Amino acid sequence: MIDLRSDTVTRPTPEMRRAMADAEVGDDVFGDDPTVNSLQEHVADLLGKEAALFVPTGSMGNQVCLGVLSRPGDEVICESRAHFLHYEGGSVATNLGLVTRPVPGTDGVITADQVGLLIRQRSEHNPGTAVVAMENTHNSAGGKVFPLEAARSLSEVSHAAGASVHIDGARIFNAQAATGTPAREWAALADTITFCFSKGLGAPIGSIVSSTAERIEEGRYVRKRLGGGMRQVGVIAAAARVAVDTGIERLVEDHENARILATGLRQLHEDAVVEEPQTNMVFLNLAPFAVDASEVAERLLSEGVLTLGFPGATMRLVTHRDVDRSDVDTALLAFKRVLRRDET
Ligand SMILES: *Cc1c(COP(=O)(O)O)cnc(C)c1O
């Protein structure tokens, strides 16, 4: 099977499995797990932050960050297709009691000009803006990079108006791979940042939050409240460490494979791809082929290619660690057979 549904589908590598088996562990709620402690220190260094906190999922990462930066009833400004607004079970409302104020962006980017006008202090009538959130790369926008200069302006305007800044960097290293800008440069603009080990980096489980030592201390409390205090979790952190050590540099391969996929699809029809991929996501536009999306997905499945249908007759195709160049070539042949069946 060639699984193009998401970069979350990767299986742990043999090196990860060995690291998991050999991991030194302790009770992490007591702060006793050396593998977790070492991972947290390593990631904090990597991002140029004081401290970091291992969490089970990216959704909990966002909640820990937003929870530390706000109080119930506060407002968080985000892009209107933000992951935590649409795909995290409403947790920001139900678990943190925050009001979300979505702002429509372009390619997932909201600007300092847009947001500067919206940030407000709490009054007798309205909630105050506690946090301005960015997403980098932006999932629903198709893996788009939040350009560093735009992020810097947004961060400056937010801080000047008294709001904190959070970056949902689930795929921040894809932004690094696409631009050559170190992830720490975005991290420097944010009060809190989170990323996933379990996306393109290839770990089976886990995400991390990074910030000041003081906020991370508070983050431990929020994590515990959310039920995320884990015990001998070094067995998982060990795989996450291998993901960081071996998964970051190779992300450029995923981007290259996404471009090859897009180019191949365009040979089937000039409008076959919604736009040139910036990172590891390709959106196949089914409109020119006059085919039924669910039928295409079914036929691709029988050809051994797994895809994810999106609204508007598009299909999301994601490249990752378990898809190599020859898999891309094989998938392209399947797309050709399924989309141009009259000619084959
Ligand atoms: C995947 C993702 C998350 C977190 O997802 P989990 O499934 O909870 O790990 C957060 N933000 C973005 C942008 C994501 O793509």
Can you give the CATH number for the domain in which 92 is found? Answer: 3.40.640.10
Q: How far apart are CA 244 and CA 183, in angstroms?
A: 13
For residue 254, give the nearest of 317, 203, 308, 323 by alpha carbon: 323
Which residues of the chain have a pLDDT value below 50? 344
Atom of ligand 1 minimally distant from the CA of 59: 8
Instruction: Please give the model's pTM, rounded to 2 decimal places.
Output: 0.97
- Boundary residue ending a domain (246, 280, 303): 246
The closest residue, in CA terms, to atom 3 on ligand 1 is 58
pLDDT recorded at residue 344: 47
pLDDT recorded at residue 290: 85
Residue 335: give the domain boundaries.
Answer: 250-343
- Residue 213 · residue 50 · CB < 8 Å: yes
Separation of 218 CA from ligand 1 center, angstroms? Answer: 22
pLDDT in tens, 81-130: 999 999 999 999 999 999 999 999 999 999 999 999 999 999 999 999 99
Three-state SS for 196?
Answer: strand
Q: Are residues 305 and 329 in the same domain?
A: yes
Is the CB of 208 inside a 6 Å radius of any atom of ligand 1? no
pLDDT recorded at residue 340: 83
Q: How far apart are CA 138 and CA 295, in angstroms?
A: 28
- Residue 198 · residue 8 · CB < 8 Å: yes
Separation of 289 CA from ligand 1 center, angstroms? Answer: 32
Q: Are residues 217 and 174 in the same domain?
A: yes
Q: Are residues 28 and 164 in the same domain?
A: yes
Separation of 139 CA from ligand 1 center, angstroms? Answer: 8
Q: Are residues 215 and 265 in the same domain?
A: no
Query: How many domains, the chain?
Result: 2
For residue 138, give the nearest of 169, 176, 162 by alpha carbon: 169
